[in-house]
Structures are given as C-alpha cells and as structure tokens.
Amino acid sequence: MAGENISSAFVLPTVASCIDLVVHCTRAPSGKRQVAEVVSLGRRVENGIIETSTVFSRRDGDLVASESASPGEEKFARAGYNVMQLIGSTP
C-alpha cells in the first residue's frame, strides 16, 4: 500500500484508531525521567489533527487524573478494564 495512493487523510484516522494512549515523558536536568502527561486519542481527525483528551497531567509536581478523563472506555472494557477504577474515580 505504499506510494502516492496513501495520503494523510487515510493514515491519520488509521493511526488514531490503533493507538489508545500516549504517554509524554520529560527529563529533568539531573537526568531523572518522569511522566508529564497521559492523553487518550479520539477517533476524530480535523484539519490533520487527531482529537485528544488529557487523562493525567502534572500539577504542582504530582501526576493527577483529569476531571474529564474518559480514554476510550469501550476499548478498555472489551479488554476487561474499568477505566474509572484505573484512574481512581468511582468503582
């Protein structure tokens, strides 16, 4: 399928449907790495940008769950995971 027949209009939604979460890491000047943010990818692509929502972010040095976190709950449910339990919300 390589070649000019493959455009970003095909690739971007394909990637968005294959990846559930993206973990952004940073490295401190000391060399220590830490998770800076976790985002979930949506299924929508607008103007070449994949829809994302923040699941976890760093606040005052702590990694905290976003109040509006809902990372593709149906995908995780099919795999046997309850997203709200994983992010520490309700059971």
Q: 23-70, pLDDT tens digit by residue?
A: 999 998 999 999 999 888 877 788 878 888 888 888 888 888 777 666
Report which of 59, 55, 49, 50 is spatially closest to residue 88, judged by C-alpha positions. Answer: 55
Q: 59-86, pLDDT tens digit by residue?
A: 888 888 777 666 667 777 887 877 667 6
Can you give the pLDDT at residue 91? 47
Sheet strand arrangement including 33-46: 21-27, 33-46, 49-59, 62-65
**CA dihedral for 15, 18, 23, 25, sign (positive or negative):** negative
Report domain extents, the chain: 8-88
What's the pTM value of the predicted model, to 2 decimals? 0.67
